[in-house]
């Protein structure tokens, strides 16, 4: 491990929030030609949470605010201590202004600068890395990092190839400055992308290139379209490569790893990656069965669950590993 700065950062608090409504596979079977057995067998998903449209408590920023308060409470901090908010989402409350501006106001985090990061499902690790760099550079001391989505508003509920996969939720972590020598810290980040695959996961309309029109709405051009089979293949290889890079670059072996936290896109992807890494599923954190794919929220919500139920303990070595639309990729290695 090369010393690259005076400071490091460590995660000192986590939080997560999901909408109240549980949508089962049977409920989806009433919308499209599918069934519980197919969804469970091909994805590992049993149910997902769906935000209530129009409910002010279940907007992207409102769920993030509640998750943030949980994380701040765990860290023993208040909103006034936060000097930066880095917010990963591809489904913000509004395109302008940013989700992080709403969150800052909801929390009363008056001392915080704010920014959104859009790397789709990889967003949380891009945001965490950005926050880590501000702390390492000595610029910030206490940063709130969010991964949150209301994907249900972008799902085409008539497309059985994609609507079965996604859910809503919000996760938050607090990261704080620590000594570089503290073993409990973020060790390294590895971010990448391959823009040749932009068409594999895309909302084609709704941006400046193709604004929403009546025709766009008619053809669901502003909703998520997915080439799932192609994504699947790239995802397995890339997730395995990025996890390996995270370990190798710090001189760790796979047997040193206590918990592997992969993006929750499909249980079969997760199992295939664990298999490639020769790492046991018993030490791979999975909650896709209950929440589906919540994009940027999968990693921080999974992390919060495993911290709060005591699976993740002080001193444990973790690798978090993601892929998403773009295609974007990333991994982070840290010791809890």
Residue ranges of alpha helices (H) inside the chain are 25-29, 36-43, 60-75, 99-107, 123-136, 214-218, 228-248, 267-277, 288-291, 298-308
Q: Could you say whether residue 324 binds ligand UT7 (CB under 6 A)?
A: yes
- Helical pair 228-248 and 267-277, crossing angle rounded to 10 deg: 40
Among 201, 272, 285, 318, indicate the residue that binds ligand UT7 (CB under 6 A). 201
Give the span between the Cα atoms of 314 and 92, in whole angstroms: 33
Residues 114-133 as b/e (b if ≥16 CB within 10 A, e otherwise) read bebbbbbbbbbbbbbbbbbe
Give the span between the Cα atoms of 246 and 225, in whole angstroms: 31
Q: Which stretch binds ligand UT7 (CB under 6 A): 38-46, 108-116, 124-132, 136-144?
A: 38-46
- Whichever of 232 and 252 has its CB closer to ligand UT7, that residue is 232
- Whichever of 100 and 266 has its CB closer to ligand UT7, that residue is 266
Burial class (CB in 10 A: 0-12, 13-18, 19+), 50: buried
Q: Could you say whether residue 333 binds ligand UT7 (CB under 6 A)?
A: no
Distance of CA 289 to the CA centre of its chain: 16
Q: Could you say whether residue 43 binds ligand UT7 (CB under 6 A)?
A: yes
Among 21, 83, 93, 161, indicate the residue that binds ligand UT7 (CB under 6 A). 161
Q: Which residue is nearest to ligand UT7 (CB)?
A: 228
Q: Could you say whether residue 25 binds ligand UT7 (CB under 6 A)?
A: no
Site string for ligand UT7, 108-147 (x = CB under 6 A): -------------x--------------------------
Q: Tokens 């945001």 map to which residue?
A: 127
- Whichever of 40 and 254 has its CB closer to ligand UT7, that residue is 40
142 is catalytic: no
**Residue numbers at the binding site for ligand UT7 (CB under 6 A):** 34, 38-39, 42-43, 121, 160-161, 164-165, 201, 226, 228-229, 231-232, 265-266, 293, 324
Catalytic annotation, residues = 121, 263, 293
């Amino acid at each position: 491990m090369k010393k690259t700065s005076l400071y490091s950062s460590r995660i000192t608090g986590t939080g997560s929030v999901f909408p109240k409504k549980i949508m089962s596979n049977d409920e989806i079977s009433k919308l499209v030609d599918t069934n519980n057995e197919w969804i469970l067998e091909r994805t590992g998903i049993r149910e997902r949470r769906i935000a209530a449209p129009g409910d002010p408590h279940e907007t992207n920023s409102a769920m993030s605010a509640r998750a943030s308060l949980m994380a701040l409470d765990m860290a023993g901090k208040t909103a006034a201590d936060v000097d930066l908010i880095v917010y990963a989402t591809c489904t913000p409350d509004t395109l302008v202004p940013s989700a992080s501006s709403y969150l800052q106001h909801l929390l009363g985090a008056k001392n915080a600068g704010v920014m959104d990061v859009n790397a789709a499902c990889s967003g949380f690790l891009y945001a965490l890395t950005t926050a880590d760099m501000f702390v390492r550079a000595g610029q910030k001391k206490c940063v709130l990092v969010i991964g949150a989505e209301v994907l249900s508003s972008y799902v085409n509920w008539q497309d059985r190839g994609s609507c079965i996969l996604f859910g809503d939720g919000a996760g938050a972590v607090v990261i704080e400055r620590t000594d570089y020598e503290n073993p409990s810290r973020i060790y390294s980040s590895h971010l990448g992308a391959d823009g040749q695959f932009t068409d594999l996961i895309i909302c084609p309309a709704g941006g400046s290139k193709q604004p929403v029109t009546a025709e766009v709405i008619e053809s669901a051009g502003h909703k998520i379209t997915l080439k799932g089979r192609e994504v699947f293949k790239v995802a397995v290889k890339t997730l395995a490569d990025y996890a390996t890079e995270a370990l190798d670059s710090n001189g760790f072996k796979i047997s040193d790893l206590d918990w592997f936290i992969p993006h929750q896109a499909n249980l079969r992807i997760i199992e295939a990656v664990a298999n490639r890494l020769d790492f046991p599923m018993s030490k791979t954190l999975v909650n896709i069965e209950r929440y589906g794919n919540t994009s940027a929220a999968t990693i921080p919500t999974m992390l919060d669950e495993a911290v709060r139920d005591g699976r993740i303990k002080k001193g444990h070595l973790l690798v978090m590993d993601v892929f998403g639309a773009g295609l974007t990729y990333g991994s982070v290695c840290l010791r809890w």
